[in-house]
Chains A and B, each alone.
Chain A
Amino acid sequence: MSEIRRRDPRREWIARNRLHPEHASVLAALDGIEGGGATSEWLGPSGVIRKNPRAVGFIGPSGIKRIDRSGLQSGSQPTVSAMAVSGDSRRAVNIAEPAFLVAVVPDLIGGRLSAHDKDMLGLARRLADVDVGRPGAVVAILFCEHKEEALGEVGIDKVLHFNEAIYAGFAPEVRLAALTTVERELAPRYWLFPDSPLGGADLGRRLALRLNERPATGVWQIEADNEALLGWRCTARGAAGSLDIQRPLPRFVLALAECAEPVDETRHAAERLSIAGVTPTTLSRIEDLGQVAVDPAGVALAEAEFILSGGNGVKNWDAFHHAAKVLGATEGASRVAVDDGFMTRDRQVGATGTWVTARVYLAVGISGAIQHLQGIQRCDKVVAINLDPGCDMIKRADLAVIGDSAEILAALVGMVEQRRGGQRDAA
């Protein structure tokens, strides 16, 4: 149309102001107009990356050139593409022809891989990737339903999923039968189990002895060793944690937490696998009659699974105790509630009280002093009910509801009671 380049000062101002709500869209539009402009980085004729430092950055409001290396703000093309790459820079790995297999049986507590499971998978990757040219594949053997979506991101090449109802609960004999079939059909070079009281320690020992092998238990370190039969040497804890045993790595390994770094640089295929010949036997000498209702008040606070914790924001303590009873939660308290005499000292959560490990921590009217947040560091899910939207507990929480704690708790109790009642009717 015309040779004159039109400027829009307002748009330029928005492009400089990274806090402006339209910043991103304006930036993209400006990019389109300029048509890429000068590239700041390209591959030279001799294969060397060349850079033009003058093309990097933008002119700030005071007319000085600014370079923002965070990648958050810049109109130039290269940084945007770099951002896209950093979004998923993990290398995709697909092992089509594995040289051997490494079987891992994670605990899958509550359907999720625990940190211990991820460490085990990291260890499995170390064993599988010993020879870069001929890598092995990691086979994860999962029992029952799970909630993990990205199994490939923790280093699993193949997944073997036993999803029948007979594997649920305490069914060591049925699980053992399935694993012996896996051993017969796939013959993995290594079997890895987490040495945890949640199931891995039990199942791993059963399988190893069924197959007449002596496992290494409590392994916390492995090193390459050419003299050993399988090429590895391991260090294991023995004698109630007072001995370090160095031995050649056997086929069966029960490893402690933090035995290896979890996988984070690669993405694996996590391809589904199925094997024939698994005949689930229902004939078992051990019958699981299900979990027994345990009085939640009797469970030690440090190992409780679900804690309802009250703080300064709780005014009606009778309703709070009732809610804990209905929800089946162990009661906890912040320091203020204990100091004011509403709860006993042994219920205090935090640096001076108990360090809790609950899967779900429901904090009612607790603003989240740093000592309290230290105490709940190891909780998986934190739910906060609070009036103050700016408090530290809200920042920590996975789900925060802003509102009056008494009303919300009453509504929650009502819903749970209704749900229980409905279930009873249905039954």
Chain B
Amino acid sequence: MQPEQQGLEVAVLVSVGRHPITGRARRAEQDARGVELALTLASELPGTRINVLHAGQQDINSEVALRGYLGMGLNSLTLLEQPEGSDAIAALAAYLTKALPPLVLTGTRAECGEGSGLLPYALAERLGWPLVNGLAAVETIENGVVTLLQALPRGQRRRLKVRLPAIVSVDEAGPVARQSAFGPARRAKFIVTSAIHEPDRELTQWHLAPARKRPKRLKIVKAASARDRFKAAASKAGGKSGQVLSDVTPEQGAVAILKLLEEEDVLR
């Protein structure tokens, strides 16, 4: 690799996750995938420095969760210390403006708190950097331009070229995070710095409750007569049938199918 790429710095933003069943603090799924991507990048591009960032309070629960990331093979983690209930965006934006890492990786949304998935967008807006969501893989980094694969629904991929510095968010399409080792996690260090404290006042005014099951949508039959309502309730659904081609040559059938495939735009 060229010498100018030797010093690429990657900042990974991590949060404290929450196990969906037990509710215990853990490393967040998407953020861990972000760390995994950064570690893969570091093994491919020697000299890459990974700076793992977390803004939040320091207590026993969050420490267990954050050490989960450190056990993946990191030496240290920068903790921007804030009291509970403060807005992480301000602290992170302030830190990133000073540090100016060319590439920032982050999970798409947090597993506790509001979990609105706004943080990457808010940071991109404050810093004025481009943002790409749904990162699947980083292909190359050359001359301040990163080529990456974006995950689309249905397993598709799109290749994008983004000018650095950029913020890239990782979701479930990213590579699965490696296992966290206990020993390295214990030995790694926290670099604690105090950060701006901006309380999230709006969030405190909202009413939070454990999620209740969403009502299942009912099949509402709007029929004029009782007979229609009875028929709708008693008959098998999806009675309407489509076009049936019988007594056609294989070529005619194939033409009809090809026409439908072209209309639906599934042939590539």
| Chain B binds chain A | yes
**Which residue of chain B has its CB nearest to the CB of A205?**
B121
- Give the number of residues in A that approach B within 8 Å (Cβ atoms): 90
Q: Which single member of A198, A218, A389 contacts B246 (CB below 8 Å)?
A: A389
Q: A327-B267, A360-B261, A385-B253 are in contact. Are A399 and B242 (CB under 8 A)?
A: yes
Which residue, A240, A329, A382, A414, has most C-beta atoms of chain B within 10 A?
A240
Which residue, B133, B147, B205, B257, has most C-beta atoms of chain A within 10 A?
B257
**Which residue of chain A has its CB nearest to the CB of B109?**
A240
A33 to B62, CA, bound (A): 87
B267 touches A197 (CB 8 A): no
- Chain A nearest CB, measured from B245 CB (Å): 5
B130 touches A408 (CB 8 A): no
A407 to B114, CA, bound (A): 57
Chain B residues, CB < 8 A from A287: 160-162
0/1 interface trace, chain B 203-225, chain A, CB 8 Å (1 if under): 00111111110100100101011
Q: Which single member of B154, B160, B214, B245 contacts A303 (CB below 8 Å)?
A: B154
Check: A315 CB closer than 8 A to any chain B CB: no
Chain B residues, CB < 8 A from A402: 244-248
Which residue, B110, B222, B226, B251, has most C-beta atoms of chain A within 10 A?
B251
**Which residue of chain A has its CB nearest to the CB of B265?**
A110
Chain A residues, CB < 8 A from B161: 286-287, 289
Q: Which single member of A220, A243, A264, A410 contacts B250 (CB below 8 Å)?
A: A410
B242 touches A397 (CB 8 A): yes
Q: A287-B160, A304-B154, A401-B245 are in contact. Are A411 and B121 (CB under 8 A)?
A: no
Q: Which single member of A238, A286, A298 contacts B162 (CB below 8 Å)?
A: A286
Within 8 A of B (CB), among A249-272: 258, 261, 264-265
Check: B197 CB closer than 8 A to any chain A CB: no
- Chain B nearest CB, measured from A135 CB (Å): 22
A410 to B249, CA, bound (A): 12
B227 touches A210 (CB 8 A): no
Q: A198-B153, A411-B254 are in contact. Are A285 and B245 (CB under 8 A)?
A: no
**Which residue of chain A has its CB nearest to the CB of B118?**
A205
0/1 interface trace, chain B 162-177, chain A, CB 8 Å (1 if under): 1100100001000000
Check: B111 CB closer than 8 A to any chain A CB: yes
Chain B residues, CB < 8 A from A209: 118, 121-122, 124-125
Check: A217 CB closer than 8 A to any chain B CB: yes
Q: Which single member of A210, A242, A292, A398 contacts B20 (CB below 8 Å)?
A: A242
**Which residue of chain A has its CB nearest to the CB of B266?**
A306
Chain B residues, CB < 8 A from A198: 153
**Which residue of chain A has its CB nearest to the CB of B239?**
A395
- Chain A nearest CB, measured from B14 CB (Å): 15
- For the complex, would chain A's binding face be called helix, strand, loop or mixed by DSSP majority? mixed
Chain A residues, CB < 8 A from B248: 401-403
A246 touches B206 (CB 8 A): yes
Within 8 A of B (CB), among A361-395: 362, 380-383, 385, 389, 394-395
B267 touches A246 (CB 8 A): no
- Chain B nearest CB, measured from A195 CB (Å): 9
0/1 interface trace, chain A 273-313, chain B, CB 8 Å (1 if under): 00000000000011111111110001110011110000000
Interface size classification for chain B: 35 or more
A289 to B109, CA, bound (A): 26
Which residue, B162, B251, B253, has most C-beta atoms of chain A within 10 A?
B253
B268 touches A328 (CB 8 A): yes
Chain B residues, CB < 8 A from A400: 241-245
A271 to B112, CA, bound (A): 43
Check: B183 CB closer than 8 A to any chain A CB: no
A258 to B117, CA, bound (A): 20
Q: Which single member of A169, A243, A360, A399 contacts B243 (CB below 8 Å)?
A: A399
- Chain B nearest CB, measured from A21 CB (Å): 19
Q: A110-B264, A239-B110, A240-B111 are in contact. Are A404 and B250 (CB under 8 A)?
A: yes
A300 to B224, CA, bound (A): 44
0/1 interface trace, chain B 139-163, chain A, CB 8 Å (1 if under): 0000000010110111111111111
A415 touches B254 (CB 8 A): yes
Chain B residues, CB < 8 A from A173: 130
B158 touches A197 (CB 8 A): no
Check: A65 CB closer than 8 A to any chain B CB: no
Q: A360-B266, A401-B253, A416-B267 are in contact. Are A258 and B157 (CB under 8 A)?
A: no
Question: 24 A-B contacts, Cβ less than 8 Å apart?
Answer: A69-B227, A70-B228, A86-B224, A110-B264, A205-B121, A208-B121, A237-B211, A239-B113, A243-B210, A246-B209, A247-B205, A258-B214, A289-B158, A294-B157, A328-B266, A329-B266, A381-B260, A399-B256, A400-B242, A401-B253, A403-B246, A408-B250, A412-B257, A416-B258
Q: Known pairs A246-B207, A403-B249, A408-B253. 10 more at Cβ < 8 A?
A: A217-B116, A218-B116, A220-B214, A285-B166, A288-B159, A291-B159, A359-B266, A399-B243, A401-B245, A401-B253
Closest 3 interchain pairs by CB? A299-B155, A401-B253, A398-B242
